[in-house]
Amino acid sequence: MIITLKYFGQLAEILHKQQEEMQIELPLSISALRKIKETEHPSLAKSDYRIAVDQVLVDDDFEINTAAEIAFLPPFAGG
């Protein structure tokens, strides 16, 4: 299955891209996706970020079961 990964703010700067597509085997947990991306980009492992699936923030135990848009979001403050 192909998923779309989007990177925002400092994460896009770290990875030198704002978006990419990734071929994965489903289901895939968010924690497994983190491990894949942090292995590819060790500087990402040093960053604080959240992940959203189809515009909803999810926890690491969430499983991706369908084609999805995954957003890597840096810390942000509301006001």
Domains held by the chain: number: 1
pLDDT, tens only, 51-77: 999 999 999 999 999 989 999 999 875
* pLDDT for the residue 77: 57
Query: pLDDT at residue 12 above 70?
Result: yes
> Where residue 22 sits, what CATH number does that domain have?
3.10.20.30
CA distance 39 to 79: 34
Measured between alpha carbons, how far is residue 24 from residues 43, 62, 63, 76 in Å?
Answer: 22, 15, 12, 29
Q: What is the pTM of this model?
A: 0.91
Pairing of strands 69-73, 50-53: antiparallel
pLDDT, tens only, 23-55: 999 999 999 999 999 999 999 999 999 999 999
Q: Is residue 43 part of a domain?
A: yes
Q: Is residue 57 part of a domain?
A: yes
Q: Is residue 51 part of a domain?
A: yes
Q: Is residue 53 part of a domain?
A: yes
Provide the domain limits for residue 67: 2-73
* pLDDT for the residue 67: 86
